[in-house]
Amino acid sequence: MTLNLGRDPQVTDSNPAILWFRRDLRLGDNPALQAAIDSGRPLLACFLLDETRDEWRSLGGAARWWLHRSLDALQADLARHGLTLFLKRGPAGDLLREIAGSSGADRIYCNRLPEPAEAAADREIARSLAADGITLEQHDAALLFPPPQPLNGSGAPYKVFSAFWRACLALPEPSGPLPLPGRPRAAACSRTGADRLADWKLLPTAPDWSGGLQAAWSPGEQGAHRCLEAFMEGAARTYAADRDLPGKTTTSRLSPHLHWGEISPRALWHAMRTAAASGALGSRHAEKFIAELGWREFSHHLLYHYPTLPTHNMNPRFDAFAWADPDRDRPTGAALRAWQRGRTGYPIVDAGMRELWHSGWMHNRIRMVAASFLVKDLRIDWRHGAAWFWDTLVDADRANNSASWQWVAGCGADAAPFFRIFNPVLQGRKFDADGDYVRHWVPELAGLPDRHLHAPWQAPAEILAGADVRLGDSYPRPVVEHAEARRHALAAFAAIKEAAE
């Protein structure tokens, strides 16, 4: 069906302004929306699913689920403001030209996507639209400190977080968030040829695995603000002390809302600073949370300056690392599948991987432990892990995912040294001392006493029998022995170190 956004002949209005939503699925603190309203023109809002662009073509299953739900919410929010969201699948540049052509618009407003590949594609679109007299006006909405600044004294990007963040904090403070807009004027257009959201088939069908996601999340701007409110009234108050404990809600769980732009980092920054200034929140908790937003900034700046971050080791020495190959080596392939399914025999790793599969999210501490286990205990290339996270996380984010995996693997910026290898038993005992987390996600071990919960293979036979745990049957034996795996990993690391010296 062809597109027809032809103007209603009854309408004598000025040409509409097109508002192009991407990963900024919100009305509050949306600079592109504000600029479009300020233009005084009636608005025509659209979201274009451009699968010629890697960002949209490669969306993981959990992300597709989130996107459907978030667009659904945005449609409802826009409808409350008297606007319709025009949906269309296809190459964004071509569609924008068609929409502009048929509606008489000559200006398109959008917020920048910070990823370098997306920015390059946008530049191309802007160039080709300009040839037709159409302006693409871009705004910054995704980051607190949009790149390229800050750079170090030699004009190079920072590779160490603490120095990067100090430099950010020395920049002017991010301005306060824009308020929710009033009721904009809607462009009066026919919408022949628009897609229906359901036709995009973003939701899983047979089998529908999305029940856990459905129970855990409320995608959309309102869901994001409810999530922030719950955090401010609860976990924010002990954030600096408890954020590493996975067994209770100790962090904000705002990451998917931030990724999809349902809430802005500026809104979070100012919510924290205001709460701290009024005494409602201890400033050490507010500043710790803001520093975590800083890690998000750092990851995006790294991707901006090193566009191959998702695919190449930042430290090229790791190109020679002797990874075990799950595609060629059968036991390694089986170990990768055991990791993905939460059946490694290490309860803290399995709990995390099951949380991920069930809810599309995993606590940060456990992401580090599970990732370290894949890269160091199983010696599987971090890119296999990043790909699995990409498919299963609702907050799957090129910058954060790639930078974090490289950080864990030891080949990234400011990385944990490769020789620092997490012991999954000690990590479990330290951060899940009362066993709440493992008992929730690995219920077949729930009857074990705390002492044995994180290393069931070391429990005496009668304790296992008393808890109805049958190793190798109801719960797997460890896929590798940690101490031995650690020795192998260190030997492989020593080999690339020697080669470089």
Query: Of 107 and 301, which has the nearer Cβ to ligand FAD?
Result: 301
> In the complex, what is the shortest distance from the CB of residue 241 to ligand FAD, in angstroms, rounded to a whole number?
13
How far does Cα 3 stand from its chain's mean position?
33
218 binds ligand FAD (CB under 6 A): no
Q: Which helix (H) or strand (E) holds 351?
A: helix 347-359
| Residue 4: strand pairing partners | 192
Of these, 68, 243, 285, 452, which contacts ligand FAD (CB under 6 A)? 243
Angle at 367 between CA 234 and CA 70, to 5 degrees: 65
Among 104-112, 192-200, 251-259, 422-430, which window interacts with ligand FAD (CB under 6 A)? 251-259
Residue 334's contacts (CB-CB under 8 Å, 6 or more residues apart) are 479
Is it true that the peptide bond before 310 is cis, omega within 30 degrees of 0? Answer: no
Rg (CA), the chain: 25
Q: From the list 168, 314, 396, 415, which residue makes contact with ligand FAD (rule: CB under 6 A)?
A: 396
Q: Does 364 bind ligand FAD (CB under 6 A)?
A: yes
Half-sphere exposure of 420 (CA within 13 A, CB side): 11
Other C-beta atoms within 10 Å of 69: how many? 23
Rounded to the nearest 10 degrees, the angle between the axes of helix 265-277 and helix 283-305 is 160
The residue within the footprint of ligand FAD, chosen from 251, 315, 406, 423 (CB under 6 A), is 251
- Tell whether residue 253 is a contact of ligand FAD (CB under 6 A): yes
Smaller CB distance to ligand FAD: residue 103 or 252? 252
Tokens, residue 274: 């205001």
First to last CA, the chain: 63
Nearer to ligand FAD, 30 or 401 (CB): 401
Task: Pick between residue 259 and residue 273 the one whose CB is nearest to ligand FAD.
Answer: 259
- 58 interacts with ligand FAD by CB under 6 A: no
52 close to 117: Cβ distance less than 8 angstroms: no
Instruction: Note whether 264 binds ligand FAD by CB under 6 A.
Output: no
Strands across the sheet containing 85-89: 85-89, 43-49, 17-21, 107-111, 135-139
Phi, psi of 159 (to 5 degrees): -115, 0
Q: Provide DSSP, 29-49.
A: T-HHHHHHHHTTSPEEEEEEE
Residue 164 interacts with ligand FAD (CB under 6 A): yes or no: no
| Shortest spacing between CB 435 and ligand FAD, in angstroms | 21
* Choice between 356 and 485, CB closer to ligand FAD: 356
Using the contact rule CB under 6 A, the part of the chain among 107-115, 245-253, 444-452, 456-464 near ligand FAD is 245-253
Residue 314 binds to ligand FAD (criterion: CB under 6 A):
no
**Residue 264: both structure tokens together:** 């802005």
Residues 164, 17: Cα–Cα separation, whole Å: 38
The CB density around residue 18, as the number of other CB atoms within 10 Å, is 26
# chain residues binding ligand FAD, by CB under 6 A:
27
Residue whose CB is less far from ligand FAD, 86 or 217:
217
Q: Are 113 and 197 in contact (CB under 8 A)?
A: no
Q: Binding of ligand FAD at residue 368 (CB under 6 A)?
A: yes
For residues 111 and 299, which CB has a smaller minimum distance to ligand FAD in the complex?
299
Closer to ligand FAD by CB, 15 or 364: give it.
Answer: 364
Token duo for residue 300 = 């995006």
Residues 296, 358, 379, 439: which binds ligand FAD (CB under 6 A)?
296
For ligand FAD, the binding residues in 399-438 under the rule CB under 6 A are: 400-401, 404-405, 408
Q: Which of 7, 259, 439, 482 binds ligand FAD (CB under 6 A)?
A: 259
Q: Is position 142 an interface residue for ligand FAD (rule: CB under 6 A)? A: no
Q: Does 50 bind ligand FAD (CB under 6 A)?
A: no
Segment interacting with ligand FAD, rule: CB under 6 A, options 87-95, 169-177, 323-331, 393-401: 393-401
Distance separating alpha carbons of residues 324 and 78, to the nearest angstrom = 50
65 binds ligand FAD (CB under 6 A): no
224 binds ligand FAD (CB under 6 A): no
> In the complex, what is the shortest distance from the CB of residue 160 to ligand FAD, in angstroms, rounded to a whole number?
15
Site string for ligand FAD, 371-390 (x = CB under 6 A): x-----------------x-
Tell me the window of 40-48, 75-83, 397-405, 420-428 that interacts with ligand FAD (CB under 6 A). 397-405
Q: Smallest Cα–Cα separation from 104: which of 6, 2, 4, 3?
A: 6
Which one, 97 or 257, has the nearer CB to ligand FAD? 257
Closest CA to 371 of 360, 151, 358, 356: 356
Q: Cβ distance 99 to 44 under 8 Å?
A: yes
Give the SS3 label for residue 88: strand
- 33, 189, 258, 448: which one binds ligand FAD (CB under 6 A): 258
The answer to the question of residue 293 lying near ligand FAD (CB under 6 A) is yes
Name the token pair of 309.
Answer: 């971050």
By CB under 6 A, name the binding residues for ligand FAD: 243, 251-255, 258-259, 292-293, 295-296, 299, 364, 367-368, 371, 389, 393, 395-397, 400-401, 404-405, 408
